[in-house]
Structure 1
């Protein structure tokens, strides 16, 4: 077994990690850019209800899209293991299954969302005029839901097949088309809120069509075929469906924690909940870099498991973990030294600034505490061990709920303590489960 130092000194693994992580980091940077353009275009429309309608509509649309993110994560591990095993037929089969599942869910969930839209918008406490415009936005936007889910499946497959640059290209096509059409449809053609929705829909479908074209190019170069007869058997779908089910439950549990943070923070006053939201934007900033490295772990660890290469598995985890630790320390130093500037760039309200300054030490600790769960999530996704990820998250959420109740008298300090403890337990529980698997020598069957 190689030592940690020997694994860290393996230059080829460093090159592999950054070849996969760099495109994913760049991909992450395009996401806030699109939201910024949407809100900026809507913010220049003549009525305040237009910006509010786009904000509410985007939040409602994000519910199914974010909840079905398992289509990306669940696909990556199976594709990576098939590539590591040099099984081209399995690689094509994973692609086919993921795309079929994404298409079916996109249509089905979209149809189920339509009758629920008035209730969902009403729950946002929308005024009648703003609610009407939000519904106009959403009725158009749902036409892009199948494409958005196809993009998830395609991105996961490309990452697993170690084609992260194609994932970057797919997201660039989606987002750049969206931005260009936003500027065409709204300021130039005057289509208002429907124009913003239509730009997003066309962008999503352009990305999906580009991704399908690139995926077809890749599989044409493989000496393999999809066994359609076998795919008709229910048991052939069970592994993918089980993994996606467990990731879905994990995602819902995680979303529950963030919802609870907003809910509990709102009880402490407007300035406090606003300050917490600004500080948690630092978590999003941290994710730009560390999630890219976690994506590299998914692909490389899955590849090593498929190839039955213990040394490659260890090297991928050590190298990506080392860079994740370095990155997290860098983020901690950034927030520790420039935290006041980070807050000031986001708001000029004195009471919100003062509240945010008070809790900056918690934000400074967050990257170092949280990076372990990001890293280990990548390992478990690459190994398609979603059940352990689900169990770890459920344990962490139960701990979060208990500690939130115990520290309820401490105000926002108690809330931040609870959140950092939750992130710590996430990492520790994944590490404990990972060590149990290692003792059984079960990472590679």
Structure 2
């Protein structure tokens, strides 16, 4: 049942997501520490390289989380309990089958990815061990994407937090067991994560499926042509959107590498600031996904507008807060993350660019949540392609300005993302019928 649209309710829904998102970087830090303390530099570099490969491949299917959130929220808003339950099974089955396909194709995907990254020698061997182990968890990983999306669509953010905590704690424990006790190196880190994904799938099915009337899942309409067609039509557009944004960030990384190791390292340090703020601010974007989807399902324009306004208020305050914090604590954080004097100096010089991103990125992140909740896949796809194309053109234009030009173009990318999606917003709002007023101050 949808809770009232009040500021208290919005924050109550958002904070578990924010807390869960802050634990995501923790796993990467533990992976690094566990393998790093073995003294095996090749294994550490192999995990780093393998993580990039896995992120590129697995997160291409991130639409399983995003598409599920919007469609589940709309079914919930419409009061269609049968469709809500059917969405869970559709998403889990789709995620499992796609993950199984990835597992089967790893014989082609892994060599191709490692060849593209051009690591070579012992580094490739360690990365291959890590990546091949992670592929063992591919079906579970993608199915958990769908479960998370389903829980977020229903506003069950505390359940999503519990699932995230289970995943992270099991992952950390198994990393320690496989690397320090069984001395499996980079492969051990990958096995730990793969096993944690399977355990999380079992826990997620228990959390999500506990109250489902299984008789409803026998309905002939469960995998009917219309339902599957909509599922894959929305998700195909979101997949293209995700690939476009991955290309944007890969271009930014390559732009820094073009200027040398110092520039690349400085940009990497500053990107950690942006990543942490984006993870936390996702709490409000995910809440917007759920609330907007439910408002559309209920055919209530006032509820949708209010959801956008309230999540926007929280997002803006949080984004400005992160910007001020990075301006104040940025030099100390840079000194903590980087010991090389040249990297420190370069990162400090570029800190103002990175510090303002949490504030100027708010509209782009929030609009992503709004349109994901509305399942407007074509708008998301078109906006991402346009924003990425404009960003690349801007980066090429600003190349004579060196490192500062790279960051000016990167900041412009958030404007392009917000403007291209914002152009669709009035039309989206007009499509929603006016219903009864919503409650709350």
> TM tier, shorter chain?
over 0.9
* Distance across 1 between alignment mates of 2:433 and 2:93: 29
Instruction: Quote the offset at 1:378 in angstroms.
Output: 0.9
**Distance in 2 between residues matched to 1:157 and 1:59, nearest whole Å:** 27
The root-mean-square deviation of aligned C-alpha atoms, in Å, is: 1.8
Which of 149, 152, 161 in structure 2 is aligned with 1:168?
161
Partners of 2:352 and 2:217 in 1: CA distance: 54
Contact 1:373–1:427 (CA<8 Å) still a contact in 2?
Answer: yes
Indicate yes or no: 2:399 matched with 1:413: no
- Choose from 127, 136, 149 the match for 2:129: 136
State the Cα deviation string for residues 132-191 of structure 1 (Å, max 9, x = none). 232222222211011111110000000001111111111111111111111222223333
Question: Which has the higher mean CA deviation after the structures are superposed, 191-200 or 29-38?
Answer: 191-200
CA deviation after TM superposition for structure 1 residue 232, in Å: 4.3
- Equivalence for 2:338: 347
Aligned position for 1:380: 371
The CA deviation string for residues 115-147 of structure 1, in whole angstroms up to 9 with x for no partner, is 231232233333333322322222222110111
Q: Distance in 1 between matches of 2:126 and 2:258?
A: 30
Query: Which residues of 2 match residues 357-372 of structure 1 at below 5 A?
Result: 357-372=348-363
- Contact persistence 1:93–1:227 (CA under 8 A): no
* TM-score (normalised: structure 1): 0.93
Correspondence for 2:47: 54
Work out which of the residue numbers 156, 171, 187 in structure 1 matches 2:180: 187
Mean CA deviation greater in 97-106 or 280-289: 280-289
Structure 1: gaps (5+ residues) = 1-9
CA contact (8 A) 1:174 1:205 kept: no
- Report Cα offsets for 1:40-73 as digits up to 9, x if no partner: 1111224322212222222222222111111000
1:153 matched to 2:142? no
Q: Compared with structure 1, are the counterparts of its residues 282 and 444 closer, same or farther at alpha carbon in structure 2 (3 Å cutoff)?
A: farther
| Residues in 2 aligned to 1:379 and 1:444: alpha-carbon distance in whole angstroms | 17
After the TM superposition, which residues 10-409 of structure 1 pair with which residues of structure 2 at under 5 Å, given as runs? Answer: 12-220=5-213, 225-226=216-217, 228-409=219-400
The alpha carbon displacement at 1:276 in A equals 1.3
Task: Give SS of 1:226's match.
Answer: helix
- Distance in 2 (alpha carbons) for counterparts of 1:17 and 1:218: 24
3-state secondary structure, aligned to 2:146: helix
Moved more, 383-392 or 304-313: 304-313
Distance 1:231 1:69 in 2: 22
With normalisation by structure 2, the TM-score equals 0.94
Alignment pair present for 1:443 and 2:432:
yes
Separation in structure 2 between the aligned mates of residue 123 and residue 97 of structure 1, nearest angstrom: 34
Distance of aligned partners of 1:11 and 1:137 in 2 relative to their CA distance in 1, 3 Å threshold:
closer
2: CA distance between counterparts of 1:358 and 1:433? 37
Stretches of structure 2 lacking an aligned partner (at least 5 in a row): 435-441
Distance in 2, Cα, partners of 1:130 & 1:413: 32
